[in-house]
Amino acid sequence: MNVKSIATENDLVTALKDKTPFERDVYVATFKIPKGCVSTYKRIAEKIGRPKAYRAVANALHKNPLWPVVPCHRVVSSNGSFSGDKRGADVRRSRVKREGIPVKKGKVVLSRDILF
């Protein structure tokens, strides 16, 4: 399936048929984050019913095969920081800034208005 042809959750699940159920759940939850909003690894873990699996969520998103359809750049640490290597964190920070997310001192300014 071509990445550009993924428009719905069902399209996404079909495209991810070779992934584990956990990875599919993470990618589907991340797919639902609208532009202009962010979530945290912990919130994604809670949304998929695995509240203690926030590190596993981060690992799954690190391997995201469907960026930008699955907008992993919109997922940050609970303190608003961008985890991972410096170059990748800088790219994700730039992308959320372009989407209008407030960033101060390198971290997302988390508020109810932007948390998904």
Could you tell me if 42 and 56 are in contact, meaning their C-beta atoms sit under 8 angstroms apart? no
Contacts of 15 (CB under 8 A, 6+ apart): 1, 3, 6, 66
Of 33, 53, 66, 72, the active-site residue reads 72
* d(C-alpha 69, C-alpha 106), whole Å: 24
37: annotated active-site residue: no
Active-site residues, by number, are 72
